[in-house]
């Protein structure tokens, strides 16, 4: 489904407003290298491309059929897919269990099982894989930017949350491995998707948006295994009673008790996000694949106030603490820093600090055994902070074993450097709270894995 | 269906979970004998009065034999409308910190286990931790540390270890008894050198 050699779009249309047209255009725009077939019951040509009246008319084998036709015609189209020996199916059409047509959905699942044809959806966005250039999303590329290639895979029950987050990911420095929106989970559900991603080598980090699980016990089993292998960040929709009501009419999900879900995620080392922006903050730090040795933080800054606020954020975490520099580090810093720099953590390099001062300071701190992680605050509004500083921070992060994040708040000039650093795998945050939360998540996950792997706690 | 108190106590006992000395008493004299000169609680147990303290059928801190006899008679007359009923005598637990340990069968994930400290924290601040069974020792320690009220109990490593062992015992019991839909040890009195479940309730399918 994610690496198909041939794709058929059932319901491809000439009408640019139809879902089937957008999906076709997206495949063309993405430069999908495999064979693309269009199926349309009228058999009309679409933008010079031949169409077939039925998938049965296509002579070659089809790896993936994307179905985008009204719900009532879906079972018949699936039956034809089965007879044409199609390998996998994505049903993007809505109009099934989520609007009370459980009968149509059951029919669909019956056909999928009869032909052993893994089927995603219905009522979903489908899949996207920037490596294979598969893109079943019916949202035009000029409206929804597509992320670059990376290691983060995103599993979303809701199509709308999925597309929003995808759009946000596209402006982040980390890229996407797979996007899977599974909608009503009629045949393939979150457990199947997580099992796949657990073994997928291209996936380093998993983001999960879930409202309700169909197979709770199976979810517990995969949860137990998955975070020992790769970090999973989860956002659970349907928190309140009202929220659960909405979940039911929305994706026909059975939102279980919110507390039990949180218990499950916490118990098995998932990182719990409370909103969409937290999802991205956590995805960013985990995709940088850094390993902390402990909870002690050093802060280096070119703005005193920003240093204080960050120290406050770190101190209010129940897991992180400010580290104390070793005497050797203090000695080195005293020699290399101007006299106006107070040698303590947070280390305020002063407003005139340039990349060389950061280089000296961070060089000493990165070699300090009393420090586990580093927050480098770089306010690009100051005279000394320029592209050389961004480049220096990238270099230091590359050389050092200690996890490092950058805190930069600002407008266009800052944003330019943020992109520069993030595309080199150096996470940049714009608030002390976000930076602190990200480091805490990284630390807690590493502690969880350590406790489990040391065999102190065999399951 | 509510499991008989003594049966529930014995089931917990088989998993190493201790509770205060308890027994059914049929007469005022039996109650006095049960006390052996130590403070006693008398409780009416009936399917018709699941909330004992709300129904006013609990007498606590009885020491003097005459008080015990009087309490027994009073409870018997109050309980006549709750037939069938039994009167349970319990030794009073020495003072300590109150904890709640519970189990609930979640429709999605199966047996879950809950820990809360000191009545008010659970009620007013919803300060509790929850896990899916079975839990490991790591999970049990995390359950304690997750509580904002953790300090009231973890002032020493010994009581933490004891509480962690208790949680593991309850988890094992829940795991081996899928027919249990709800379990309540409320309260458990925790001291530095020991603990006892003071009230317990097991509901089976």
- Per-residue pLDDT, averaged over A387-396, amounts to 96
**Residue B137 near chain A (CB below 8 Å):** yes
* Residue ranges, CATH 3.30.470.20, chain B: 97-204
> What is B21-91's CATH superfamily?
ATP-grasp fold, A domain (3.30.1490.20)
pLDDT above 90 covers a percentage of chain A that reads 75
The answer regarding whether domain A144-287 maps to CATH 3.40.50.261 reads yes
Q: Could you give the CA distance from residue A301 to residue A376 in angstroms, rounded to a whole number?
A: 6
ipTM of this complex > 0.90? no
What's the CATH number of domain A1-124, 3.30.70.1140, 3.30.559.10, 3.30.420.40, 3.40.50.720?
A: 3.40.50.720
The nearest alpha carbon in chain B to A218 belongs to: B109
Domain positions in chain A? 1-124, 144-287, 291-450
- Per-residue pLDDT, averaged over A305-324, amounts to 96
Q: Could you give the CA distance from residue A322 to residue A333 in angstroms, rounded to a whole number?
A: 18
Tell me the residues of A at the B interface, defined by beta carbons under 8 Å apart. 213, 216-217, 219-220, 254, 256-257, 259-260, 262-264, 266-267, 451-452, 456-459
- Per-residue pLDDT, averaged over B148-173, amounts to 85
Checking if the pLDDT of A255 tops 50, the result is no
- Residue B107: list chain A partners with CB under 8 A: 216, 256
- Per-residue pLDDT, averaged over B3-26, amounts to 95
* Residue ranges, CATH 3.30.1490.20, chain B: 21-91
Ranking A37-46, A91-100, A175-184, A274-283 by mean pLDDT, the lowest is A37-46
Q: Is the pTM of this model over 0.95?
A: no
What class has domain A291-450?
Answer: alpha beta
- Residue A213: list chain B partners with CB under 8 A: 108
The nearest alpha carbon in chain A to B140 belongs to: A267
Measured CA angle at A213 (ends A209, A217), to 5 deg: 130
- Residue B109: list chain A partners with CB under 8 A: 216-217, 219-220, 256, 260, 264
Separation in Å, CA of A265 to nearest CA in chain B: 9
Q: Could you give the CA distance from residue A62 to residue A28 in angstroms, rounded to a whole number?
A: 17
Say if residues A9 and A27 touch (Cβ distance below 8 Å).
Answer: yes
Task: Identify from B103, B126, B132, B144 which residue to disrupt to test chain A contact, counting A C-beta atoms within 10 A and taking the largest count.
Answer: B132
Question: For the segment A318-329, what is each residue's pLDDT rounded down to a tens digit?
Answer: 999 999 999 999
List the structure tokens of A321: 């603490």
Say if residues A234 and A271 touch (Cβ distance below 8 Å).
Answer: yes
- Among residues A246, A251, A255, the alpha carbon closest in space to that of A99 is found at A251
Q: For residue B121, what pLDDT is reported?
A: 72
Question: For the segment B40-90, what is each residue's pLDDT rounded down to a tens digit?
Answer: 999 998 877 665 555 668 889 999 999 999 999 999 988 888 888 899 999
The nearest alpha carbon in chain B to A217 belongs to: B109
Q: Which H, E and C letters describe chain B, residue by residue?
A: CECCHHHHHHHHHHCCCCECCEEECCCHHHHHHHHCCCCEEEEEECCCCCCCCCCCCEEEEECCHHHHHHHHHHHHHHHHHHCCCEEEEEECCCCCEEEEEEEEEECCCEEEEEEEECCHHHHHHCCEEEEECCCCHHHHHHHHHHCCCHHHCCCCHHHHHHHHHHHHHHHHHHHHCCCEEEEEEEEEEEECCEEEECCEEEEEC
CB contact residues (below 8 A), chain B span 143-162, against chain A: 146
Checking if the pLDDT of A247 tops 60, the result is no
**Residue B132 near chain A (CB below 8 Å):** yes
Band (pLDDT 50/70/90 cuts) for residue A457 is: low
The topology under which CATH files domain B97-204 is D-amino Acid Aminotransferase; Chain A, domain 1 (3.30.470)
Beta strands B180-191 and B194-197, pairing class: antiparallel
Q: For residue B135, what pLDDT is reported?
A: 95
Q: Indicate if A291-450 has the same CATH topology as A1-124.
A: yes
Contact A263 B108 (CB under 8 A): no
- Residue A216: list chain B partners with CB under 8 A: 106-110
Ranking A38-42, A169-173, B69-73 by mean pLDDT, the lowest is A169-173
């Amino acid at each position: 489904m994610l690496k198909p050699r041939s794709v058929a779009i059932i319901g491809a249309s000439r009408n640019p407003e139809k879902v089937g047209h957008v999906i076709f255009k997206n495949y063309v725009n993405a430069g999908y290298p495999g064979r693309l077939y269009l199926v349309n019951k009228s058999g009309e040509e679409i933008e010079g491309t031949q169409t077939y009246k039925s998938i049965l008319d296509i002579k070659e084998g089809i790896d993936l059929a994307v179905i985008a036709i009204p719900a009532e015609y879906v079972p018949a189209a699936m039956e034809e897919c089965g007879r044409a020996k199609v390998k996998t199916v994505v049903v993007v059409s809505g109009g099934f269990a989520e609007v009370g047509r459980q009968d149509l959905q059951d029919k669909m699942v019956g056909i999928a099982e009869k032909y052993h044809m893994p089927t995603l959806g219905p009522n979903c966005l489908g899949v996207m894989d920037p490596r294979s250039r598969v893109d079943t999303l019916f949202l035009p590329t000029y409206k929804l930017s597509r992320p670059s290639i990376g290691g983060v895979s995103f599993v979303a029950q809701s199509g709308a949350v999925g597309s929003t987050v995808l759009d946000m990911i596209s402006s982040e420095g980390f890229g996407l491995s797979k996007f899977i929106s599974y909608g009503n989970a009629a045949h393939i559900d979150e457990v199947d998707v997580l099992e796949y991603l657990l073994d997928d080598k291209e996936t380093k980090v998993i983001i999960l948006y879930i409202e309700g699980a169909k197979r709770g016990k199976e979810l517990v089993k995969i949860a137990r295994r998955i975070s020992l292998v790769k970090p999973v960040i989860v956002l659970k929709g349907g928190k309140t009673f009202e929220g659960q009501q909405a979940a039911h009419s929305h994706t026909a999900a059975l939102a279980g008790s919110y507390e039990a879900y949180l218990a499950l995620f916490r118990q098995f080392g998932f990182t719990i996000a409370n909103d969409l922006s937290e999802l991205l903050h956590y995805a960013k730090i985990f995709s940088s694949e850094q390993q902390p040795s402990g909870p002690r933080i050093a802060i280096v800054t070119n703005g005193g106030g920003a240093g204080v606020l960050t120290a406050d954020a770190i101190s209010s975490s129940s897991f992180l603490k400010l580290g104390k520099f070793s005497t050797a580090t203090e000695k080195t810093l005293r020699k290399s820093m101007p006299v106006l720099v107070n040698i303590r953590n947070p280390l305020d390099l002063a407003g005139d600090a340039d990349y060389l001062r950061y280089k000296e300071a961070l060089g000493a701190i990165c070699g300090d055994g009393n420090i586990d992680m580093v927050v480098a605050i770089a306010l690009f509004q100051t005279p000394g902070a320029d592209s050389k500083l961004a480049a220096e921070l990238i270099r230091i992060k590359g050389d050092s074993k200690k996890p490092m994040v950058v805190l930069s708040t600002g407008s266009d000039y800052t944003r330019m450097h943020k992109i520069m650093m993030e595309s080199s795998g150096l996470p940049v945050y714009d608030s002390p709270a976000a930076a602190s939360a990200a480091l805490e998540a990284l630390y807690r996950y590493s502690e969880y894995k350590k406790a489990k792997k040391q065999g102190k706690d065999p399951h | 269906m509510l499991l008989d108190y003594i049966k529930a106590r014995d089931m917990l006992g088989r998993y190493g979970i201790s509770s205060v000395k308890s027994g059914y008493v049929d007469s005022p004299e039996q109650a006095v004998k049960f006390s052996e000169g130590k403070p006693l609680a008398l409780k009416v147990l009936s399917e018709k009065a699941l909330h004992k303290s709300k129904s006013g059928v609990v007498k606590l801190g009885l020491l003097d034999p005459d008080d015990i006899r009087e309490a027994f008679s009073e409870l018997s007359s109050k309980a006549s409308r709750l037939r069938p009923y039994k009167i349970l005598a319990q030794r009073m637990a020495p003072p300590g910190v109150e904890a709640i340990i519970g189990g609930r069968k979640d429709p999605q994930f199966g047996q879950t286990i809950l820990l809360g400290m000191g009545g008010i924290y659970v009620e007013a601040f919803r300060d509790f931790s929850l896990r899916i069974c079975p839990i490991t020792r790591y999970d049990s320690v995390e359950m304690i540390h997750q509580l904002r009220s953790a300090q009231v109990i973890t002032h020493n490593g010994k009581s933490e270890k004891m509480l962690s062992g208790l949680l593991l015992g309850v988890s094992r019991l829940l795991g081996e008894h899928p027919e249990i839909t709800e379990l309540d040890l409320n309260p458990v009195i925790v001291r530095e050198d020991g603990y006892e479940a003071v009230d317990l309730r097991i509901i089976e399918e």
